[in-house]
Amino acid sequence: MHRIVIATGNPHKVEELREMLALPGLEFVGLADLGRPFEEPAETGTTFEANATIKALAYARQTGLPCLADDSGLEVDALGGAPGVISSHYCTDGRETGMSRAERDAANNARLLRELEGIPPARRTARFVCLMVLAAPDVLATARGAFDGRIGLPGTVPRGTHGFGYDPLFLVAPEFAETSAELPPTRKNAMSHRGGAAVAMLAELHRVRDRLPPS
């Protein structure tokens, strides 16, 4: 049996990935399951892959176990790929200011719409991206998933009650008729960037599991 740590304290995310990445001989646990505190690494990378790598390496070395970490966010083509790695704190240029999640989401969305003012629909293309990295203790595998769409025009978005963050602004390709926040959760999960990265990582796990240390 190989035990793999998922680098998050969120039990819902651990359960979601545990289901997506199920393979005989692998057991997935969260940081909280290990029963001791860990030092959280500074995510100083300029790409999703760099930040996922920082987390995977840091927790693999602290736990002594293979570690799977991910980083994700929104890329908007007309903004040169912004918000990118600061997607969750775009309104404050990546700084943590103690705002609630709801306040931060609203401010992030307002900034995004403001910066896209006057840009026509065809040039508002965007994608959610997720990068997963497995370290054991060095990088063993990477996987990427993307969820394509575009940012709606003010007055037509925000729409929808599911999801969070930029979901109410994000019109899903190829029809651009529904926002990500209007999709039922099961449909969204099947299409999402995290789901795509998990499928790609599952293939990588098939490839490398014999190289994982037993635990």
Return the active site residues: 71
Residue ranges of alpha helices (H) inside 64-212 are: 101-115, 185-191, 193-208
DSSP reduced 3-state for 169? helix
Sign of CA pseudo-dihedral 202, 186, 52, 42:
negative
Angle formed at CA 174 by CA 169 and CA 179, multiple of 5 degrees = 20
- Cα separation, 166 vs 203, in Å, equals 29
Count CB-CB contacts under 10 A for residue 89.
17
Which residues, including other chains, have CB under 8 Å from residue 23's CB and lie 6 or more apart?
Answer: 202, 205, 206, 209
